[in-house]
């Protein structure tokens, strides 16, 4: 009886352990931004800021103020060096690079969009 119970228990453990796995998301399709494609803050960057609720912390009480009506003027030129993403504080501190919150990470496409926006002159 004990032997049968142990075999059943071992079988159940084996069955349950093989059913536990992590689904892997398919890789994100990389966007191509053509050289003549205009990237603007309002159309391309602000939606990313809104998606991650950056204004939840950067609400005017903590710089930069990333509320929709203030974000562009708060970022450019204090945190964004137009034409130079590599030396722009905003780009260096994006989630997934070196800025909290830890559980948020921008996608490669979002990072590329913001980097290209800055490198192309940080248009409003």
Indicate whether 113 belongs to any domain: yes
| Cis before 99? omega within 30 | no
Indicate whether 105 belongs to any domain: yes
| Cis before 65? omega within 30 | no
Indicate whether 122 belongs to any domain: yes
Indicate whether 115 belongs to any domain: yes
In Å, how far are 4, 15, 18, 34 from 8, measured between CA atoms? 6, 10, 16, 61
Structure tokens at 29: 């399709």
Indicate whether 1 belongs to any domain: no
| Number of domains within the chain | 1
Q: What would the pLDDT profile of 42-84 be if each residue is shown by its tens digit?
A: 999 999 999 988 888 898 888 899 999 999 999 999 999 999 9
Domain range for 63 is: 36-124
Q: What would the pLDDT profile of 13-42 be if each residue is shown by its tens digit?
A: 666 666 655 566 677 777 788 888 899 999
Is residue 107 within 8 A of residue 94, CB to CB? The reply is no
Nearest to 94 by CA among 81, 85, 72: 85
> What is this structure's pTM?
0.73
């Amino acid at each position: 009886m004990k032997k049968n119970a142990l075999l059943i228990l071992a079988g159940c453990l084996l069955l349950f352990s093989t059913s536990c796995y992590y689904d892997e998301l398919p890789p994100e399709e990389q966007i191509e931004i053509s050289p003549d494609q205009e990237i603007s803050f309002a159309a391309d960057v602000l939606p990313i800021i809104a998606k991650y609720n950056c204004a939840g912390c950067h609400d005017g009480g903590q710089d930069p103020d990333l509320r929709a009506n203030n974000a562009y003027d708060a970022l450019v030129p204090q945190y964004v060096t137009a034409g130079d993403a590599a030396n722009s504080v905003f780009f260096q501190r994006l989630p997934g690079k070196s800025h909290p919150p830890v559980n948020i990470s921008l996608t490669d496409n979002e990072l590329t969009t913001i980097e290209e926006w800055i490198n192309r002159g940080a248009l409003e």
